[in-house]
Amino acid sequence: MSNYSNQLPRVQHSLSRRFLLVLAGIFLLTYLSVAATIFASISQHLARSIQSRLTQTADDSVEKCQNEFSRQLIDVQAWAALEVMNDLITGDIDGRIGRTLVQLKKQYTLPDHIYVFDDNGKLIASSREEALPQPTVIPPEWRSNHSGAYFVDKHSNALLTNAGLAFGINVYASFNPELRIGTLIITYPWHSVETKMNNRATPILILSDNNDALLYSSPNLPALSGNNFKALRLADKEINLLKNSLLVGIASTATANNPAFPHWTIMALSPREQALQPIRDAAMQILLLGLGIAVPIMLIMLWQARRLVQPIISLTHTVTDITFSADLSKRVVVDSDDELGILGHAFNAMTTKLQSSVEELAQLNRTLEQKVVDRTIALQSANAELQSTIDQLQSAQSQLVQQEKMASLGQLVAGVAHELNNPIGAIYANLPILEEYVRDLIELIADLEQMPLNDAQKQALQKNLAHIDFEFVREDSVNLINSCKNAALRVKDIVVSLRNFSRLDEAELKDVLLEDGLDSTLALLYHTTRNRIEIKKHYGLKKPVRCHAGQINQVFMNLLSNAIHAISNKGIIQISTLRQDDHAVVIIYDTGCGMSPETLKKIFDPFFTTKKIGEGTGLGLSISYNIIEKHHGQFTVESDPEYGTCFTIKLPFTQPENEQ
Amino acid sequence: MRQWLSFFRGVRRVVALVFGLTCTPVNAGSNQVIIVAHPALAINTITESELSRIYLLRQTFWSDGLPIIALNREVNSPTRDLFTSRVLNQTATALASHWQQMHFKGKTPPLVQESDQAVLVFVEKVPGAIGYVSIDTPVGNNVKVLAKLP
């Protein structure tokens, strides 16, 4: 199959390689875009989730603070409304407030203490059971003219030695809401805040909104210096801190409807590297997945490319083979039903068609010569036909000329015959009388000799008779007169025959006896047959035939004259007439030299003659044939060089009336 | 708020127990109470019926428009028993029932102070305040004595 494949140009840009490259490119592009999208989506999602987790943590912390502080605020408000607080007016003379506070602290397991000051700021009672230095006055930061509960941010004083928060409220007399009778303070130790904020998973920062001070920092965070705080508070999602990139979730405890709350910013932090670890893991997984998919996909693409290109290579080889070997019987092996398979089928169909076309061409080429020969023959035959037409035309012309000539000749002959008829009649009529006269004269002489005469006389007579050679004259005169009589009779016969023969006055159809025509013709030809040819007549017809007698006689003349010419020495001419149904048949047979088949074929052709030039026109039989044809008769000839020639003429007794 | 109410009751019970036991014998035998009021009060005397109106919460403002802040003693106090039965002519139960009704109508029952000293200091300090102390209690010039009853 690949005998000629080395004659093909080398494949420069292999289709399979390009196919592979394109598919690989598409795969790579698709994979990269999908991977990039997925990665971007995952990382965005993760970042958002980390961010939201951090924010959630911050929010949780805020909520925790709010819950805790709300409770404190509610406590402070409720306790300030206790009836026992009216005792502030009396300076807790009965110690009721002190007892109540101790009770409350125990009951609510407060982390720190409750203090009640009178309106002048003097400590009236507290939940502390140990003795406090007297007089104790309210620390200035705990004072407030706020009407409701209020919050004191992280601070420390004599009563709150370790840092802490304070929740305070001004106490009014229950019977007179206008009458301020003192201040109630609940202290909240900072370590409780720290305990609540301590989240092992996520470090927390608490910043005060008021002075950008760091209130709390988770122990697992690096130490922060004061100048970072402002930047920290402004950070949105991410911040660079101490060479670490940190993700930040921010929440504020400040609520618009509750000014008594602390204004803190709580931040949940997470180191970026640690937070983004899942994203890197995802990227790695996507990469591994891509590699995992790439291997089988490349294998499939390789296989598919081979599969696609193989039929093309096979087709190319077949085409090359066909091209170089010029063998159209080769076919592509089609083993698939895809487009290439259809191409293969189409190519096979084309090859088949081409093959049949080529064979047809070869066949045509082969038959072309034969066709040329055939055409040549046809041409030649057409040519011959044309020639024969020309010949016919010529013959028709010649016949016309001949007929005219014969007609003229006939007229002349008829005229001559008519003119000769009278003198020859006189001669013929006078000859018997002349014979009688001669006989009489001879008898007279004989008588004279017998008469008794003297010798002189006798001698003179004898001398005169000897002088004229009377004996010879006597004998010869009889002969002469007989001869003349014969001659005259012949002339008479000839004249009759000429008249019969010409019959120019009888151009129209006439019922004639054919035997008369034959006899007339024989009479005209008598001088050629005499002593040489025996004429045998078998006349069995004896019935007139309607015909142009002159023309029929011309036919007889031709036939008989030919028969006579055919007999070179002695021979027999047999003339028979007979009836055959409604036809008259004339048979003229001679024992002459006969004709060869070649000659026999041509005897009716005009100008064909076996005689020497000048002796015959070659028109006789041709004209005869035409005459018989015109009479709706048949003209047949049989001839053999050994036995002679036999002409048969078959004529109908009647001719169609309209023919003239 | 329910827990606060229960808390109040608890506090009251404790206070009553502690003070009732210690203070009861102090004023035994006396049968009169001194009606004291804020020194700046417009009136100088008061009748039993006026006191009844005030303590039964029928009158809540003084004639000059100042709100009346009536003081009472704790439940176990003999002075309170005396004041209730003899001045107001009521039983403790009926009075408590009445005050409860009044409480629900939005009127505050008289405030409770647990000692005569406390009553005196309160009356002295709060304008419009009125209270009673045992006849044995020395009353200084810082308060206005309106009557000694019955």
Nearest chain A alpha carbon to B16: A96
**Contacting residues for A352 by C-beta, under 8 A, at least 6 apart:** none
For the cut 90, the answer to whether the pLDDT of residue B63 exceeds it is no
CB-CB under 8 Å, B11 with A84: yes
DSSP H or E segment with residue B149: strand B144-149
CB-CB under 8 Å, B8 with A175: no
CB-CB under 8 Å, B14 with A107: no
Give me the residue from B4, B111, B114 closest to A175, CB to CB. Answer: B111
Judged by phi (left if over 0) then psi (alpha if -120 to 50, else beta), residue A469 lies in: left
**Nearest C-alpha of chain A: how many angstroms from B86?**
26
Per-residue pLDDT at B18:
45
How many other C-beta atoms are found inside a 10 Å radius of the C-beta of residue A352?
13
Per-residue pLDDT at B25:
41
Distance CA A567, CA A573 (A): 9
SS3 content of chain B, % helix, strand, coil (to 5): 45, 20, 35
Residues of A in contact with B109 (CB under 8 A): none
Q: Read off the pLDDT band of A646 (50, 70, 90).
A: very high
Average pLDDT for A438-460: 83
Average pLDDT for B111-132: 89
CB-CB under 8 Å, A175 with B67: yes
CB-CB under 8 Å, B69 with A175: yes
CB-CB under 8 Å, A93 with B121: yes
Q: Find residues 507-566 of chain A whose CB sits inside 8 Å of chain B.
A: none
**Nearest C-alpha of chain B: how many angstroms from A108?**
11
**Nearest C-alpha of chain A: how many angstroms from B120?**
9
Phi, psi of A181 (to 5 degrees): -115, -5
ipTM of this predicted structure = 0.75
Give me the residue from B15, B117, B125 closest to A96, CB to CB. Answer: B15
Distance CA A640, CA A600 (A): 9
Distance CA A86, CA A574 (A): 197
Top residue of A100, A107, A175 to mutate, by most chain B CBs within 10 Å, is: A175
Average pLDDT for A318-329: 83
Distance CA A165, CA A69 (A): 10
Per-residue pLDDT at A589:
92
- Rg of chain B, C-alpha, whole Å: 15
CB-CB under 8 Å, A90 with B118: yes
pLDDT digits (tens, 9 = 90+) for A497-553: 677 666 544 567 888 888 888 888 888 888 888 888 899 999 988 888 988 887 888
Distance CA B21, CA B14 (A): 11
**Of residues A395 and A527, more confidently modeled:** A527
For the cut 50, the answer to whether the pLDDT of residue A350 exceeds it is yes
CB-CB under 8 Å, B121 with A91: yes
Phi, psi of B67 (to 5 degrees): -70, 140
Which range among A54-58, A417-421, A607-611 shows the weakest confidence by mean pLDDT?
Answer: A607-611
Judged by phi (left if over 0) then psi (alpha if -120 to 50, else beta), residue A326 lies in: left
pLDDT digits (tens, 9 = 90+) for A238-255: 676 666 677 777 887 776
pLDDT digits (tens, 9 = 90+) for A328-337: 788 888 877 8
Burial status of residue A385 (CB atoms within 10 A of its CB: 0-12, 13-18, 19 or more)? exposed
For the cut 70, the answer to whether the pLDDT of residue A189 exceeds it is yes
A472 touches chain B (CB under 8 A): no
Q: Read off the pLDDT band of A660 (50, 70, 90).
A: very low
A240 touches chain B (CB under 8 A): no
Per-residue pLDDT at A649:
93
Distance CA A174, CA B70 (A): 12
A94 touches chain B (CB under 8 A): yes
DSSP H or E segment with residue A229: helix A228-234
Q: How far, rounded to the nearest angstrom, does the alpha carbon of residue A228 sit from its chain's CA centroid?
A: 84
A100 touches chain B (CB under 8 A): yes
Give me the residue from A87, A89, A175 closest to B108, CB to CB. Answer: A175
β-strands A176-189, A114-118 pairing: antiparallel
Per-residue pLDDT at A30:
87
CB-CB under 8 Å, B112 with A175: no
Number of A to B CB contacts under 8 A, please give it: 52
Residues of B with CB under 8 A from a CB of A: 4, 7-8, 11, 14-15, 18-19, 67, 69, 108, 111-115, 117-118, 121-122, 125-126
Give me the residue from A82, A89, A99 closest to B125, CB to CB. Answer: A89
Give me the residue from A82, A89, A99 closest to B122, CB to CB. Answer: A89
Distance CA B146, CA B43 (A): 8
Specify which of A144-153, A221-230, A381-390 reaches the highest per-range mean pLDDT: A381-390
Per-residue pLDDT at A225:
62
Average pLDDT for B63-91: 88
Which tokens hold the place of A337? Answer: 């039903």
Per-residue pLDDT at A316:
85
Distance CA A160, CA A164 (A): 7
Mean pLDDT across chain A, nearest whole number? Answer: 82
CB-CB under 8 Å, A93 with B118: yes
CB-CB under 8 Å, A94 with B114: yes
Top residue of A79, A89, A100, A172 to mutate, by most chain B CBs within 10 Å, is: A89
Per-residue pLDDT at B26:
41
Which tokens hold the place of A449? Answer: 């000799």
pLDDT digits (tens, 9 = 90+) for A10-24: 777 777 788 888 888
pLDDT digits (tens, 9 = 90+) for A269-321: 877 777 778 778 888 888 898 889 889 888 888 888 888 888 888 888 888 88
For the cut 60, the answer to whether the pLDDT of residue B24 exceeds it is no
For the cut 80, the answer to whether the pLDDT of residue A373 exceeds it is yes
pLDDT digits (tens, 9 = 90+) for A83-135: 888 888 888 888 888 899 999 999 988 888 999 998 888 888 888 877 777 77
Per-residue pLDDT at A410:
67
CB-CB under 8 Å, B114 with A90: no
**Of residues A136 and B133, more confidently modeled:** B133
Provide the percentage of residues in chain B whose pLDDT is more than 70: 80
Top residue of B14, B54, B125 to mutate, by most chain A CBs within 10 Å, is: B125
In sequence order, what are the beta bridge partners of A176? Answer: A173
**Nearest C-alpha of chain B: how many angstroms from A260?**
21
A654 touches chain B (CB under 8 A): no
Distance CA A239, CA A361 (A): 91
Per-residue pLDDT at A505:
47
CB-CB under 8 Å, B111 with A86: yes
**What is the per-residue DSSP string for A252-293?**
E--BTTBTTS--EEEEEEEEHHHHTHHHHHHHHHHHHHHHHH
pLDDT digits (tens, 9 = 90+) for A193-230: 888 887 667 888 888 877 777 788 877 776 666 566 66
Residues of B in contact with A76 (CB under 8 A): none
Residue A557 and residue A524 in contact, taking contact as beta carbons nearer than 8 Å? yes
